[in-house]
Amino acid sequence: MALNKYQKALVTDLQSGDDKKVFSALDRFDKHASSDLVKPLLDLFKDSEGQTKDRCATMLRQLKISAAEEILMDSLRKKNYDSIKGDILSFLWNSGFQPGDRVCEIIEAGLSGDYMLGFEALTLIDTLDGPFEETDLIEAQLLAKEFLIKNQDDDRFDLVNSILGKLRQMDSRVAE
């Protein structure tokens, strides 16, 4: 992180545990926003509750920092964010990000948890415009097919079948 002094102070306040300082930092976030501040905001969301968590969620759903897409997508693969994968997928689609080159990662995350996590993955891929990478789509389809073969009695079966159908529709928008 290459934070300037204002951003360093903001991160310090976000991590302080003092509600007054945290809310002050959240008020200042937009003025000093950069991609370096997305992860500390995501960490605060993960580790907080109540009004602080709600405020962070609102901010993460409205990110206008283009580099935040990659930070959020990379967070999906990190074990310490497993408990908020559904939220991360929601932040991605609410912010209007288009990680169309990482469909397989989205599906992998969606299949790694409960019904709602799968639903968030479906919601995100449903908003993607493309074009898509052919190998990425094929890998995503294979993941969904494998899930369906191994989990015929799972309550997510119909949802994953819908995901697979959406992935097949996306084939028509493969990058040339």
The model's pLDDT over 104-150, given as tens digits with 9 standing for 90+, comes to 999 999 999 999 999 999 999 999 998 899 999 999 999 999 999 99
Quick one: what percent of the chain has pLDDT higher than 70? 99
What pLDDT, on the 0 to 100 scale, is given for residue 1?
53
Average pLDDT score over the chain: 93
Q: Is the peptide bond before 131 cis (omega within 30 degrees of 0)?
A: yes
What pLDDT, on the 0 to 100 scale, is given for residue 7?
86
Between 50-60 and 38-47, two packed helices, what is the crossing angle to 10 degrees? 150
Q: What confidence category does residue 176 fall into, taking pLDDT thresholds of 50, 70 and 90?
A: low
Higher pLDDT, 78 or 171: 78
Residue 32 has pLDDT above 80, yes or no: no
Q: Quick check: pTM over 0.95?
A: no
Q: What confidence category does residue 56 fall into, taking pLDDT thresholds of 50, 70 and 90?
A: very high
Residue-by-residue DSSP string for the chain:
----HHHHHHHHHHTS--HHHHHHHHHHTGGG--GGGHHHHHHHHHH--HHHHHHHHHHHTT---TTHHHHHHHHTT-GGGGGGHHHHHHHHHHTT---GGGHHHHHHHHHTS-HHHHHHHHHHHHH----B-HHHHHHHHHHHHHHHHH-TTSTTHHHHHHHHHHHHHHGGGB--
